[in-house]
Structure 1
Amino acid sequence: MKEGKLNEQEVVDITHHQAVNAPSAVLSVSPVIISAPERGEDIQLRVSAPITGNQLPVIIFAHGYGSSLDGYAPLVNFWAANGFVVIQPTFLDSRTLALSPEDPRTPLIWKFRVEDMKQILDNLDFIEDSVLGLKGRLDRDRIAAVGHSFGSQTTGMLLGARIIAPDGSLGEDMSDPRIKAGILLTPAGKGGKDLSPFAAEHYPFMNPSYAEMTTPALVIAGDKDISPLTIRGWDWFTDAYTLSPGADWLVTLFDGEHLLGGISGYLVTETSDENPERVAAVQQLSLAYLRSALYPEDSSWATARKEFNERSNPIGKIEGK
Structure 2
Amino acid sequence: MTMPWSARCDGSDPAVTTTPLPGEADTAPPLILRHPADGTARGIVVFCHGLGSSGRAYGELTEAWVRQGYVVIHPTFADSIFEVAKTHPDLGLDPSDDTLVLWSRTRPAAREAMMRILHDPAYGLDRIRIVTAILDRLPDILATIGTDPAGLPLAIAGHSFGAYTAQLLAGAVVDLPDGTRSFAEPRFSAALVLSGQGRDQQGLREGSWDAMTGPVLTVTGTRDGGAKGQDWHWKCEPFDLAPPGGKMLAVLDDATHYLGGMTPEGSVVPHQFDALRMVTAAFLDAHLANRPGAWNWLELIEDRIGDCPVVFRRK
Q: TM-score range by the shorter chain?
A: 0.7 to 0.9
1:67 equivalent among 36, 53, 64: 53
Match of 2:237 in 1: 239
CA distance in structure 1 between the partners assigned to 2:147 and 2:5 by the alignment: 32
TM-score normalised by L of structure 2: 0.80
Per-residue deviation, 1:94: 0.4
| Shift of residue 139, structure 1, vs aligned partner | 4.9
Alignment partner of 1:48 is 2:60: no
Of 152-161 and 306-315, the range deviating more from structure 2: 306-315
Any unmatched runs of 5+ in structure 2? 89-112
> Which stretch of the first structure deviates more once superposed, 27-36 or 109-118?
27-36
Map of 1:113 onto structure 2: 127
Match of 2:171 among 153, 160, 163: 160
Between the two proteins, the alignment pairs up a number of residues equal to 283
Distance of 2:288 and 2:81 partners within structure 1: 33
Report the equivalent of 2:219.
Answer: 220
- Per-residue deviation, 1:155: 0.6
Structure 2 Cα separation of the partners of residues 47 and 130 of structure 1: 9
SS in 2 for 1:52: coil
Distance 1:315 1:139, change over 3 A: farther
Matched, 1:123 2:137: yes
CA deviations over 1:163-216 (Å, ceiling 9, x no partner) = 12369x5x222111110001100101101xxx6xxxxxxxx5465822221221
Aligned equivalents of 1:55, 1:63: Cα separation in 2: 22
TM-score by length of 1: 0.79
CA distance in 1, matches of 2:191, 2:261: 20
- Could you say if the C-alpha distance between residues 311 and 69 of structure 1 is closer, same or farther in structure 2, counting changes exceeding 3 Å? closer
Pick closer, same or farther for the CA change 1:124–1:188 going to 2, 3 Å: same
Query: Mean alpha-carbon deviation: is it higher for 146-155 or for 221-230?
Result: 221-230
Q: Give the equivalent residue in structure 2 for 1:150.
A: 161
Q: Find runs of 4+ consecutive structure 1 residues off by over 6 angstroms.
A: none
Q: What is aligned with 1:95?
A: 81
Greater Cα offset, 204-213 or 175-184: 204-213
Amino acid of the structure 1 residue aligned with 2:241: L
RMSD after superposition? 2.8
**Equivalent AA in structure 1 for residue 278 of structure 2:** Q
Q: Find the aligned partners of 2:305 and 2:160 in 1 and give their Cα distance.
A: 28
Q: 2:311 aligns with which of 301, 317, 321?
A: 317
1:201 is matched with none
Q: CA deviation at 1:108?
A: 0.2
Cα distance in 1 for residues equivalent to 2:5 and 2:291: 23
Query: Do the aligned partners of 1:253 and 1:317 also contact (CA within 8 Å) in 2?
Result: yes
Q: CA deviation at 1:280?
A: 0.8
Residues 141, 178 of structure 1: 8 Å contact kept:
no
Change (3 A) 1:305 1:278: farther
CA contact (8 A) 2:42 2:152 kept: no
Deviations 1:232-287 (A, max 9, x none): 321000000011125611011000110001135xxx4275xx41111111111111
Is the contact made by 1:44 and 1:90 (CA closer than 8 Å) also made in structure 2?
yes
What CA distance in whole angstroms lies between the structure 2 residues aligned with 1:277 and 1:315? 9
In structure 2, C-alpha distance between the alignment counterparts of 1:173 and 1:311, rounded to whole Å = 34
Using the TM superposition, give the Cα deviation of residue 135 of structure 1 relative to its aligned residue in structure 2, in angstroms: 3.5
Alignment of 1:1-321 (within 5 A): 19-37=7-25, 42-52=28-38, 54-98=40-84, 99-100=87-88, 107-131=121-145, 134-136=146-148, 138-165=149-176, 169=179, 171-191=180-200, 204-205=202-203, 209-230=208-229, 232-245=230-243, 248-264=247-263, 268-269=264-265, 274-296=268-290, 298-307=292-301, 309=303, 314-321=308-315
Aligned-pair CA distance for 1:221: 0.8
Relative to 1, partners in 2 of residues 1:218 and 1:270: Cα closer, same or farther, differing over 3 Å? same
The residue identity in structure 1 corresponding to 2:314 is G
Stretches of structure 1 that go unaligned for 5 or more consecutive residues are: 1-13, 196-203
Q: What displacement does 1:126 show?
A: 1.0
**Residue identity in the other structure for 1:79:** W
Q: Name the CA distance, whole Å, in 2 between partners of 1:81 and 1:173.
A: 33
Change in CA separation of 1:55 and 1:26 when aligned onto 2, cut-off 3 Å? closer
Cα distance in structure 1, aligned partners of 2:157 and 2:306: 29
**Whole-angstrom distance in 2 between the partners of 1:66 and 1:179:** 25
State the SS of the aligned residue for 1:220.
strand
Residues 305 and 318, structure 1, Cα contact 8 Å, conserved in 2: no
